[in-house]
Amino acid sequence: MAEYKTINDPVHGTIRLDPMVRDLMETLELQRLSGIRQLGLTYLVFPGANHSRIEHCLGVSHVAGRLAAAIELPEDERKLVMAAGLLHDVGHGPFSHTLEHILSSKLAIDHMHLTQAIILGEDDNVRPEERGAFPDVPRIPEVLEDHGVAPKLVAALIRGPPEAVTLRTGRRDHGGRYLGQIIHSAIDADQIDYLMRDSHYTGAAHGMIDFHRIVQTVGLHDGELVIDRKGLPALEGMLVARALMYSSVYFHKTVRIAEQMIARAVERTTRDVRDVQKMVDAELLQWLAEQGEYARDIVLRIKFRKLYKRVLERGRDELAEDQRKTLLELADPPKRRRAEDAICQRAGIPEGRAIVDIPLPELLISEPRIAMTDVKVLDEGKVRAFRKVSPLGRALQLREVSDWVVMVATDPRHRAAVAKAAERVLFA
């Protein structure tokens, strides 16, 4: 019998680690995630949100295995989705999604690109000198191959689309759509775990979902994941929970301000963003504290929770069409930075002390599934789209995550001056 180890997870209870998962957990690439908070700076608003990215990865692997068992996948496919679930976030940088837009704007890639490259052995999220300290520890692709799992298939599952994976087993010849859907879809293992885990640690009841009912009612139909009509309330609950968690937790205004403060401090340094991406949370703060007065001030404000305050905010309905177009242009980081500098100049304060936050473009980078509700529901032998079975489907697609299109924040001492300057720069 294969050797198993168990761990106690606060969300899923006792989790049994099979040999592949256990060996992957020993890699430097994965262990690095222990130093990265799953929810970035959200702990400044929700004090319990100190859980790490590695906890989430282990949870996703567990959920993927549960879904695979529920639809009776063969062992090779179960191992594949569990590996993809465990490794789907190894490319994350410090404070998780906080610096994602910087990586995207400067390198035209995201953490998923880096994750794929790490799984394939084409890139590394561990510094050479750190890896040199543990020369006998194998890298991810070596571990996968030792357990009969192809790194290329794992990388393809993580990126998607689902059709990107083709398997030929003794019993199946298919496009692997359901495999991709377990990892990246409207109802995947990643979202199931982060909603349950983040709800647990933040204390926000919005994220509670009926995972057991989803497992009981999930199935396969024509090579795709479906939910039986009996599981419709659990499916509705999950998709509503996702929408509410984004509004009340992930895009909480104070959380956004803290994240933008750290992002601006990094943005105004000359360090290669790839080097920053290899850091963990504590290393980033320590490094920023050595990068001059501005970055040091930001670090102190984060350390003691003396954050910038909101001084101006506009919702979609408060803006004319030409104003919306102007703000949309500020999704381009250089243009947004010029606008911030212009506000500071008009307000008579040093550059960097005013932040313009336009959340929608960043949301599409960090969570492209946010409006995805394309789940198939099996109803008396017929497959129907979720939006045609439930009135919530269309409503969730139209619902805005944030109730603001633009927000300006600054040091409380400069509130009046920055508010006036921002009106002139952004809306004149």
- pLDDT value of residue 392: 85
For residue 47, the tally of other CB atoms under 10 A from its CB is: 11
Give pairs for 365-368: CB < 8 Å, separation 24+.
365/100, 365/101, 365/104, 365/110, 366/97, 366/100, 366/101, 367/246
Closest-CA residue to 28 (of 277, 283, 278, 287): 278
What the block records as the tokens of 229 is: 């009509």
pLDDT in tens, the chain (428 residues): 556 789 999 999 999 999 999 999 999 999 999 999 999 999 999 999 999 999 999 999 999 999 999 999 999 999 999 999 999 999 999 998 888 888 777 776 777 889 999 999 999 999 999 999 999 999 999 999 999 999 999 999 987 655 445 554 444 444 568 999 999 888 999 999 999 999 999 999 888 899 999 999 999 998 899 999 999 999 999 999 998 999 899 999 999 999 999 999 999 998 888 899 999 999 999 999 999 999 999 999 999 999 999 999 998 888 888 888 888 888 888 999 999 999 999 999 999 999 999 887 666 555 666 667 789 999 988 999 998 889 887 788 777 777 788 999 999 999 999 999 999 999 97
Rounded-to-integer distance, Cα 164 and Cα 116, Å: 13
What the block records as the tokens of 89 is: 């976030």
What the block records as the tokens of 232 is: 């419709």
Residue 286: Cβ-neighbour burial (10 angstroms; 0-12, 13-18, 19+): exposed
Closest-CA residue to 139 (of 126, 157, 150, 129): 126
The residues with which 313 forms a beta bridge, in sequence order, are 407
Q: Which residues contact 423 (CB under 8 A, 6 or more apart)?
A: 312
* Structural domain spans, the chain: 5-252+365-398, 309-358+405-428
- The number of CA neighbours under 13 Å toward the Cβ of 44 is 22
Rounded-to-integer distance, Cα 380 and Cα 103, Å: 47
Rounded-to-integer distance, Cα 51 and Cα 369, Å: 23
Taking only Cα atoms into account, the Rg of the chain, rounded to an integer number of angstroms, comes to 22
Rounded-to-integer distance, Cα 300 and Cα 122, Å: 37
Kind plus residue range of the DSSP H or E element containing 5: strand 5-9
Classify 5-252+365-398 by CATH class: mainly alpha
Query: What are the E-state strand segments in 232-325?
Result: 309-314
- pLDDT value of residue 296: 97
- pLDDT value of residue 161: 56
Rounded-to-integer distance, Cα 27 and Cα 136, Å: 10
For residues 148 and 118, is the Cβ–Cβ distance under 8 A?
A: no
Provide φ and ψ at 224, rounded to 5°.
-130, 155
Kind plus residue range of the DSSP H or E element containing 385: strand 382-385
Rounded-to-integer distance, Cα 192 and Cα 64, Å: 10
Residue 337: Cβ-neighbour burial (10 angstroms; 0-12, 13-18, 19+): middle
DSSP codes joined into one string, 40-53: TTGGGTSTT---BH
Closest-CA residue to 118 (of 152, 91, 100): 91
Q: Which residues contact 275 (CB under 8 A, 6 or more apart)?
A: none
Rounded-to-integer distance, Cα 147 and Cα 389, Å: 42
Rounded-to-integer distance, Cα 200 and Cα 177, Å: 31
Give pairs for 211-218: CB < 8 Å, separation 24+.
211/63, 214/187, 214/238, 215/66, 215/67, 215/70, 216/70, 218/67, 218/70, 218/71
- pLDDT value of residue 367: 60
For residues 347 and 339, is the Cβ–Cβ distance under 8 A?
A: no
